[in-house]
């Protein structure tokens, strides 16, 4: 029940306050800290999350399958071959500037690759990781 309340509160807070990568990190980190006191986003945990082989599907075992191991590089969807712009805001200034798009893609990609929706802590760690890449 507490995680449901946190998810609703994150989605309620995000549209009003987050239109930059740093603002998103702050919002997700605050939600994560409510569930895990003392939480601070970690680029290493973000990298580990990004590279982890979830193996929900054979063709998309991890995030890097489509996004490459370097978030500053362009990728390609392994099933559709559709081009994917770089994840790192240093290489793609449009990345992580629209809360609605960020939530849409986290929901879609987490479900496909991780097999569930990602937590606020995972999102904060992931964003901290891609923010330092470039």
**80-131 pLDDT tens trace:** 999 999 999 999 999 999 989 999 999 999 999 999 999 999 999 999 999 9
**25-58 pLDDT tens trace:** 999 999 999 999 999 999 999 999 999 999 899 9
Q: What letters, b where the CB count within 10 A reaches 16 and e where it falls short, cover 99-120?
A: beebbeebeeebeebbeeebbb
* pLDDT at site 133: 80
Number of residues that this document lists for the chain: 134
Q: Tell me 90's DSSP state.
A: T
What pTM does this model have? 0.84
Return left, alpha or beta for 68; rule: phi > 0 is left, psi -120 to 50 is alpha, else beta. Answer: left
Domains of the chain: 2-132 (1.10.760.10)
Q: Dihedral (C-alpha) 110, 112, 117, 120: value to the nearest 10 degrees?
A: 0
Lowest mean pLDDT segment, chosen from 4-8, 39-43, 47-51, 67-71:
4-8
């Amino acid at each position: 029940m507490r995680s449901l309340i946190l998810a609703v509160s994150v989605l309620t807070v995000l549209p009003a306050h987050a239109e930059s990568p740093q603002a998103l990190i702050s919002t997700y980190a605050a939600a994560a800290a409510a569930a895990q006191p003392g939480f601070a986003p970690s680029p290493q945990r973000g990298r580990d999350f990004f590279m982890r082989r979830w193996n929900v599907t054979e063709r998309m075992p991890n995030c890097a399958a489509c996004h490459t191991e370097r978030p500053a590089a362009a990728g390609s969807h392994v099933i559709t071959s559709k081009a994917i712009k770089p994840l790192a805001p240093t290489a793609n200034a449009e990345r992580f500037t629209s809360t609605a798009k960020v939530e849409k893609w986290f929901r879609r990609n987490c479900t496909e690759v991780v097999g569930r929706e990602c937590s606020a802590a995972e999102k904060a760690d992931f964003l901290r990781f891609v923010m330092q890449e470039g």
